[in-house]
Amino acid sequence: MRSLFQSAEKLEKAVKQYGALEGAKSTMQRLAERLEEILEGSGKEE
């Protein structure tokens, strides 16, 4: 995941005011969990 900001100040505001780092970490964790579910299920016959 990558985000571009117009300035360092806007990046800092996003990190402090909106919790951007925590949000990105949470999103990546959910993605990893979902991919694991998909990969575990791909080897099973239905």
The pTM (predicted TM-score) of the whole model is 0.63
- Compute the C-alpha angle 15/11/2, nearest 5°: 90
Q: What is the pLDDT of residue 41?
A: 87
Q: What is the pLDDT of residue 34?
A: 96
Q: What is the pLDDT of residue 44?
A: 61
Res 43 pLDDT > 60 = yes
- Map residue 5 onto helix, strand or coil: coil
Summarised one tens digit per residue, pLDDT across range 3-31 is 899 999 999 999 999 999 999 999 999 99
